[in-house]
């Protein structure tokens, strides 16, 4: 698993949940009854004060989300949509409902003057990301960003809503008086907009995807030709391939008719909102335009400004380049959100008035700021940190002072979390990174078992990339947790690669990238050991995707780890040659991996679990998606043949990122049990888990 958004994935459907709310006081709503499955999609305003208690996994499950789940994931669009008069924000709230294995979703409007929040529409299924990778349509299970769009007169909000497996466009009255479907299409709505006069809603679709799917089904009547369309891990059928041009439709807002947009209308459709569609940012106002361009393949972003007269204004200040995470205009000032500091571990907001001096820093620190947008003379952002879930804040552009205007998860005020401390370290090739060390509530000293969670650590610490290993639940059970932010690509320390293939070729030579990542991780773990906190005999490691590849490499090349858990597995000779399909095999061969006709045990010696199974004694828990588990079979088979302690679970209808709440629950519970058993000698006395512990006890016995 080379990268979260470069890996194997596929289809799925999601269950719907009728979203309701019973709200009073500061929260207003349109009539849902208390006690309905999704009544708490927004917090209950009149809920009684609770006593302090420890964190449990269900607290993470029921987190109310606004925007993308990973705090550091930048997008060129904000999930906070500003009304035309600048007095309100519209956004989508998402909350898992494990009892029905579904999600509660609501379109909400926040009045900035009063702080009141009202639901203006509800319901729908989770919309997940789709994109083309190596010519194939991929759907990794990661949530897609849903951005509401206000009508020019501010009376209506159009947004995407998934029903019965298809993403449609809906329109909701901004005052909460009603909502209606604008489209009833056979194709997913990918983009939304309004004509300048607000008379029609614009919708972007890709009908070629449905047409290709129909052709594949027809082909199956006579058998599929095995060719470049196949990725065996995702199923015994061809994948949808090729580019599918977008078609812009024009719809009457009341849903009375949809037609192909004329040229004038199509020109008014805004840019693609889809995550990863572009790395550049674009902000426009009456005072001019600001945008970014990237300097080279992996180079820094550079801010460019053009005033209302079309004149370019240069900014040579450091704040105008680097890891730019957002741009927005506030009057005649440009607000720049930027990652900076050691290893780019801080986020900052800079204010620059073009032509009037250098940018001035307003805010800086470890808190993650996401989706920042200007309204009513202030900057509104989603703000979070390691121990504080995301909330909407207002930042004063004069002083940088931050005020919370809406906290979607007030329950966390009564949940006892451990302390978090950021540690910095440098790996063997001089690359800097960090880890957030989380200690149990009330920790007074002494050696603790340590669990490493990978591979990004920013914002509220959920469970690492993919959220499979709940940081605060481990801490509540008495573990120290090192939430590890992986080092930058090895290739960037040695060269300036011009494209992805060159980058990966440099990274893969003599497993340089894997060695670099393991070096950084080991340095961090040893730092926690040297602090007198981690017990060197009780270190666990976890990972998904690229993090899982680090786990596998660590099991072969390190003696630090006493237990491991993986959510994907494995880069092995057969997975590279066969199970990923012909296109992936050629891509890997182009990056230096051996061909099937030229086995190379020496090449695989540092990285293949199967080839090193005889000397791996670390207990390994594998919890895998059904559409990826084939990649694990070579490693699992070698380990089990030798009687090694390994257990594998396969989750049905899953993707690279787990999307089903019940599967998230099961993953968390089993992971906690696994590390409790192997690192703390603890077990859950539930009779339902008796067989689990009998298997694990048997693993302690030497193979016969």
Containing 57, the helix (H) or strand (E) segment is helix 57-61
Question: 108-167 pLDDT, tens per residue?
Answer: 999 999 999 999 999 999 999 888 888 888 888 889 999 999 999 999 999 999 999 999
User: Which tokens sit at 482?
Assistant: 């090192």
Q: How far is CA 303 from CA 280, 319, 324, 346, in A?
A: 9, 9, 8, 19
DSSP 371: E
Question: 549-596 pLDDT, tens per residue?
Answer: 999 999 999 999 999 999 999 999 998 889 989 999 999 999 899 998
- Range with lowest mean pLDDT among 16-30, 131-145, 275-289, 582-596: 16-30
- Domain containing 600: what range? 417-699
pLDDT for residue 282: 84
Contact 498, 297 (CB under 8 A): yes
| CA–CA separation, 301 and 293 (whole Å) | 5
Contact 641, 125 (CB under 8 A): no
Q: How far is CA 192 from CA 104, 203, 222, in A?
A: 22, 5, 39
User: Which tokens sit at 573?
Assistant: 């000779």
Contact 329, 285 (CB under 8 A): yes
- Dihedral Cα 251, 257, 259, 263, nearest 10 deg: -40
> If pLDDT is split at 50, 70 and 90, which confidence band does 2 have?
very low
Does some domain include residue 469? yes
- Range with lowest mean pLDDT among 26-35, 306-315, 591-600: 26-35
Question: 425-456 pLDDT, tens per residue?
Answer: 999 999 999 999 999 999 999 999 999 999 99
pLDDT for residue 14: 26
pLDDT over threshold 80, residue 9: no
**From edge to edge, which strands make up the β-sheet containing 402-406?**
368-375, 378-385, 388-395, 402-406
- Nearest alpha carbon to residue 321 among 342, 295, 298: 295
Does some domain include residue 555? yes
Does some domain include residue 184? no
- Would residue 545 show up in a list of annotated catalytic residues for this protein? yes
Question: 162-196 pLDDT, tens per residue?
Answer: 999 999 999 999 999 999 999 999 999 999 999 99
- Range with lowest mean pLDDT among 229-238, 271-280, 586-595: 271-280
Residue with tokens 């339902």: 688
3-class secondary structure per residue, 621-677: EEEEECCCHHHHHHHHHHHHHCCCCEEEEEECCCCCCCCCHHHHHHHHHHHHHHHHH
Does some domain include residue 437? yes
Residues facing residue 554 across a β-bridge: none
Other C-beta atoms closer than 10 Å to the C-beta of 235 total 13
Containing 517, the helix (H) or strand (E) segment is helix 512-530
Q: What is the three-class DSSP state of 466?
A: coil
Q: Any residues with CB less than 8 A from the CB of 447 and at least 6 apart, and which? A: 532, 533, 534, 535
pLDDT for residue 298: 83
- The catalytic residue among 102, 321, 545, 671 is 545
- Nearest alpha carbon to residue 443 among 415, 419, 471, 470: 419
pLDDT for residue 130: 86
Q: In this structure, what CATH number is given to the domain that contains residue 457?
A: 3.40.50.1820
Report the predicted TM-score, pTM, of the whole model to 2 decimal places: 0.91
Does some domain include residue 203? no
pLDDT over threshold 60, residue 15: no
Does some domain include residue 46? no
> If pLDDT is split at 50, 70 and 90, which confidence band does 46 have?
low
Upper half-sphere CA count for residue 163 (Cβ side, 13 Å): 16
- Would residue 632 show up in a list of annotated catalytic residues for this protein? no
pLDDT over threshold 70, residue 32: no
pLDDT over threshold 60, residue 25: no
Residue with tokens 């029921």: 62
| CA–CA separation, 616 and 620 (whole Å) | 10
Does some domain include residue 344? no
Mean pLDDT of 608-624: 97
Other C-beta atoms closer than 10 Å to the C-beta of 303 total 26
- Would residue 376 show up in a list of annotated catalytic residues for this protein? no
Containing 634, the helix (H) or strand (E) segment is helix 633-641
**Number of domains making up the chain:** 1
- Nearest alpha carbon to residue 116 among 40, 25, 224: 25
pLDDT over threshold 80, residue 667: yes
pLDDT over threshold 90, residue 98: yes
pLDDT for residue 35: 54
- The catalytic residue among 522, 572, 574, 628 is 628
- The catalytic residue among 97, 456, 656, 663 is 656
Q: What is the three-class DSSP state of 508?
A: helix
Mean pLDDT of 487-495: 88
* Exposed / middle / buried, residue 573 (Cβ in 10 Å: 0-12, 13-18, 19+): buried
pLDDT for residue 167: 96
> If pLDDT is split at 50, 70 and 90, which confidence band does 322 have?
very high
Does some domain include residue 200? no
């Amino acid at each position: 698993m080379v990268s979260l958004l470069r890996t194997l994935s596929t289809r799925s459907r999601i269950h719907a949940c009728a979203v309701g709310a019973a709200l009073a006081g500061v929260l207003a709503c349109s009539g849902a009854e208390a006690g309905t499955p999704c009544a708490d999609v927004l917090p209950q305003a009149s809920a009684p004060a609770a006593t302090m208690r420890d964190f449990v996994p269900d607290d993470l499950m029921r987190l109310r989300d606004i925007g993308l789940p990973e705090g550091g994931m930048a997008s060129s669009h904000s999930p906070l949509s500003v009304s035309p008069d600048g007095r309100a924000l519209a956004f989508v709230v998402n909350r898992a409902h494990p009892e029905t294995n579904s999600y509660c979703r609501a379109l909400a409007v926040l009045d900035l003057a009063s702080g009141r929040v009202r639901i203006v529409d509800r319901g729908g299924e989770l919309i997940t990301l789709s994109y083309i990778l190596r010519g194939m349509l991929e759907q990794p299970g990661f949530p897609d960003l849903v951005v509401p769009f206000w009508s020019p007169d501010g009376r209506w909000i159009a947004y995407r809503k998934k029903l019965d497996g298809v993403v449609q466009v809906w329109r909701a009255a901004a005052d909460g008086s009603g909502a209606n479907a604008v489209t009833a299409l056979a194709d997913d709505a990918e983009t939304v907009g309004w004509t300048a006069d607000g008379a029609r809603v614009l919708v972007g679709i890709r009908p070629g995807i449905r047409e290709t799917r129909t052709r594949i089904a027809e082909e199956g009547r006579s058998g599929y030709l095995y060719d470049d369309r196949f990725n065996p891990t995702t199923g015994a059928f061809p994948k949808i391939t090729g580019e599918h041009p977008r078609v812009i439709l024009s719809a009457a807002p009341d849903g009375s008719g949809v037609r192909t947009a004329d040229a004038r209308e199509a020109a008014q459709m805004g840019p693609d909102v889809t995550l990863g569609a572009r790395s550049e940012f674009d902000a426009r106002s009456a005072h001019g335009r600001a945008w970014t361009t990237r300097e080279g393949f992996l180079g820094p972003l550079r801010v460019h400004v053009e005033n209302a007269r079309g004149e370019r204004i240069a900014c040579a200040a450091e704040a105008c380049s680097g890891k730019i995470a957002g741009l927005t205009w506030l009057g005649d000032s440009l607000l720049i959100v930027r990652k900076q500091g050691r290893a780019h571990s801080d986020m900052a907001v800079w204010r620059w008035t073009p032509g009037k001096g250098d940018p001035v820093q307003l805010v800086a620190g470890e808190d993650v700021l996401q989706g920042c947008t200007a309204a009513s003379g202030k900057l509104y952002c989603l703000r979070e940190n390691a121990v504080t879930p995301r909330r909407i804040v207002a930042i004063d552009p004069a002083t940088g002072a931050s005020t919370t205007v809406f906290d979607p998860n007030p329950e966390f005020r009564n949940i006892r979390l451990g302390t978090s401390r950021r540690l910095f370290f440098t790996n063997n090739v001089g690359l800097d990174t960090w880890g957030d060390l989380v200690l149990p509530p009330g920790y007074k000293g002494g050696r603790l078992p340590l669990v490493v969670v990978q591979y990004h650590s920013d914002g509220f610490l959920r469970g690492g990339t993919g959220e499979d290993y709940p940081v605060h639940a481990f801490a509540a059970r008495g573990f120290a947790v090192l939430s590890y932010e992986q080092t930058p690509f090895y290739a960037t320390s040695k060269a300036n690669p011009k494209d992805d293939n060159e980058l990966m070729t440099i990274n893969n030579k003599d497993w340089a990238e894997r060695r670099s990542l393991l070096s950084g991780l080991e340095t961090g773990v040893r730092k926690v050991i040297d602090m007198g906190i981690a017990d060197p005999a009780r270190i666990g490691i976890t990972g998904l995707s690229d993090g899982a590849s680090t786990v596998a490499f660590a099991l072969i090349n390190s003696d630090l780890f006493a237990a491991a858990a993986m959510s994907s597995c494995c880069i092995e000779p057969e997975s590279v040659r066969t199970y990923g399909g012909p296109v992936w095999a050629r891509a890997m061969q182009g990056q230096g991996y051996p061909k099937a006709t030229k086995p190379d045990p020496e090449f695989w010696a540092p990285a293949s679990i199967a080839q090193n199974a005889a000397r791996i004694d670390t207990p390994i828990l594998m919890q895998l998606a059904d559409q990826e588990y084939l990649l694990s079979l070579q490693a699992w088979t070698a380990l089990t043949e030798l009687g090694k302690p390994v257990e594998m679970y396969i989750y049905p209808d899953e993707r690279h990122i787990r999307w089903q709440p019940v599967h998230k629950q099961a993953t968390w519970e089993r992971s906690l049990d696994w590390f409790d058993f192997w690192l703390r000698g603890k077990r859950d006395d539930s009779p339902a888990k008796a067989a689990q512990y009998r298997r694990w006890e048997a693993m302690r016995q030497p193979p016969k």
